[in-house]
Amino acid sequence: MKIWICATTMIGMSLCFTFASADSGQIENTVPKYGDIKVEFVEKAIVKESAEDPNFMFSEYIGDVVPDKNGNVFLLDRDRILQYDNQGIFVKAFGKKGEGPGEYQWPINIFIHDQGDVYVNDRGRILHVFDRDGKFLRRINLNFSIPIEESRFYVDKNENIFALKREMSESGLDKVLVKADKSGTIQKSLMAAKDRETQVKSSGGVGGVMGGIIHPYSERMLICPIQDAFVCYGNNLKYELNIFDLDGNLKMIISKRESASSISEEEKRKFGKEAVFPAHRPFYSKILSDEEGRIYVIRTKSVLDNNPKTVIDIFGSSGQYLYRTEVSFKPVAIMNGSFYSIEQDENQMRTVKKWTMNNYRELKNK
């Protein structure tokens, strides 16, 4: 049996989804309904690094690249946030390192609210909020800590915060998906998974020692908003996507039946002796969603694979596996029918590229 769930967006548009009810809440997929699809792109260099212009001069560490619904690009460059318009023209820089209002110690990533406010994750403990003009609005002290390696967070239309936290349980440490209110106080725990990275085997048994080398085969817990009406959560060692509504209720589980790939000794040697590996290669590395509610699962490939192609599985808002496609870049974001990526040339100069899908409007959603 299926039920209809409707939500109203910030612009007043009514959106409806067909979700499975509690007695048939798992949508299992095997092959894409419409098979492989070739996505046609128009490639454009939006923001190109320059050694001569300070507004296009980046540090060695670019923490985040996030587009907004108007096509502006926000780039977190270590201690400052740079904004460029949809043509790549510099607009402004705001935020800085410090201890005063609107200043932060260690910015990790950013989130652009549908209303245009910019939320900056500072050390996983504080969110600094700026308006669309770069004016500091307020500071949110979280009463929990977002793990550095799982630093993505989502702020819904009611300013509730969805994020991951570490939590002690009877069997050790867990990573828990939580919903907090706009003051940063946890209101509800949604789902937990064992934090295997902190379970270090020793002669004394299993301890809770933090640390380890983070690599492309590390276990990840990932979250992604869907149309400001739902939240998608997934553990990349399971091909399973859990869809929650904004009240924190599990509405649907999307799964894909697929055999896991073992990690060879040759692959392990790529990461060094100190790296710790899961039982198998993760199924995916990132989850993205577009304004139509489709979910894009960015697949993990072998580090021995020199093919530049990235495989993406595309699911509809009803949970059906619709398409499989390959692209020639690694997407970091999607907005209004365009993927965004960070490319680096032979001189180590970086470019934020926008890949507009010509056949985006032709993609089905069911």
Report pLDDT digits (tens) over 28-86: 999 999 999 999 999 999 999 999 999 999 998 899 999 999 999 999 998 899 999 99
Q: Where are the alpha helices (DSSP H) in the chain?
A: 265-269
Predicted confidence (pLDDT) per residue in 319-343, tens digit: 999 999 999 999 999 999 999 999 9
Residue 208 vs residue 236, higher pLDDT: 236
The arithmetic mean of pLDDT across residues 228-232, rounded, is 96
List the chain domain ranges. Answer: 2-362
User: pLDDT (tens digit, 9 = 90+) per residue, 295-324?
Assistant: 999 999 999 999 989 999 999 999 999 999
pLDDT at 275 over 90: no
> What is the Cα–Cα distance from 159 to 200, expressed in whole angstroms?
37
Mean pLDDT along residues 7-17: 37
Task: Tell me the C-alpha distance between 45 and 22, whole Å.
Answer: 46
Cross-strand partners of 348: none
The structural architecture, per CATH, of the domain 2-362 is 6 Propeller (2.120)
CA–CA distances in Å: residue 300 to residues 285, 321, 366 = 6, 17, 25
pLDDT for position 8? 37
**What is the model's pLDDT at position 10?**
34
What tens digit of pLDDT does each residue of 81-104 get?
999 999 999 999 999 999 999 899
Q: Is 149 helix (H, G, I), strand (E, B) or coil?
A: helix
Distances (CA, A) of 299 to 70, 123, 217, 255, 344: 28, 28, 11, 14, 21
Confidence (pLDDT) at 212: 59
pLDDT band at 1 (very low <50, low <70, confident <90, very high): very low
103-118 per-residue burial string, b: 16 or more CB within 10 A, e: under 16: ebeebbbbbbbbeebb
What confidence score (pLDDT) does residue 209 get?
A: 38
Tell me, what DSSP letter sits at residue 40? P
User: Does the pLDDT at position 358 exceed 90?
Assistant: yes
Determine which helix (DSSP H) or strand (DSSP E) holds 155, and give its type and residue range.
strand 154-155
What pLDDT, on a 0 to 100 scale, did the predictor assign at position 18? 39
**Picking from 39-43, 160-164, 275-279, 357-361, which range would have the lowest pLDDT averaged per residue?**
275-279
Distance of CA 302 to the CA centre of its chain: 21
Give 111-125 pLDDT, tens digit per residue: 999 889 999 999 999
Residue 174's nearest CA partner among 149, 189, 190, 194 is 194
Q: Check residue 197 and give its pLDDT.
A: 59
Contact 55, 88 (CB under 8 A): no
Q: How far apart are CA 234 and CA 317, in angstroms?
A: 16
Per DSSP, the residues of 230-274 read: EEEEEETTS-EEEEEETTS-EEEEEEE--PPPPPPHHHHHTT-TT
Across the range 184-207, mean pLDDT stands at: 69
pLDDT at residue 359, rounded to an integer:
93
Chain mean position to CA 321:
20
CA distance 195 to 10: 36
Mean pLDDT (the chain, rounded): 88
Rounded distance between C-alpha atoms, residue 262 and residue 348, angstroms: 33
Mean pLDDT to the nearest integer, 203-216: 53
Residue whose entry in the numeric block shows the structure tokens 């970091």: 332
Best CA proximity match to 261, nearest among 200, 216, 199: 216
- The three-point CA angle 213-275-192 to 5° equals 65
Query: Tell me, what's the pLDDT at 247?
Result: 96
Of the candidates 179, 182, 180, 199, the residue with the CA atom closest to the CA atom of residue 191: 179
pLDDT of residue 203: 37
Q: Which residue in the block uniquely carries the two structure tokens 């936290």?
A: 165
* Mean pLDDT on 262-289: 93
pLDDT at 17: 39
pLDDT at 273: 80
Average pLDDT over residues 18-34: 72
3-class secondary-structure state, position 129: strand
Mean pLDDT of 210-219: 75
The identity of residue 12, as a single letter, is G
